[in-house]
Amino acid sequence: MATIEECRAALDRLAESLAGAKGELRDAAAPDRSLSCHISDLDVTFAGHLVGGHIQDVETLPGTPERRAEIALTMTGDDLVALVDGRLNFAKAWAAGRVRVQASLRDVLRLRSLL
């Protein structure tokens, strides 16, 4: 089971990838959106903002946040690490129920191209 530190490191790697994105990937990461990722097996949520292709102001919160983000993800810590490392396909994990997404269809399609 991934630790909180490993999950945070995976989010940091994702943020670095977004910051260095080019072309279509950069366009997918461009919109300003609130973002949360609830790690179900650790009952912790990372919440921040996707701004101009960067993940900013990330906080670690216990449980699920009171206010839902515009893009809200739920998964296990191991799945987060595997997604960011490229060992787990986002679309397949989403279809199988391993990753839950609450977002507009446009944001889901953008997210799919980022992961």
Mean pLDDT of 68-97: 93
pLDDT of residue 91: 85
pLDDT of residue 23: 53
pLDDT of residue 67: 83
Report whether pLDDT(20) > 70: no
Instruction: Output DSSP code: residue 34.
Output: E
56 CB neighbour count, 10 Å cutoff: 12
Look up the domain containing 45 and give its range: 4-114
Mean pLDDT of 39-59: 89
Number of domains in the chain: 1
Mean pLDDT of 44-59: 86
pLDDT of residue 114: 61
Both tokens of 68, joined, read 């839902």
CATH of the domain at 60: 3.30.1050.10
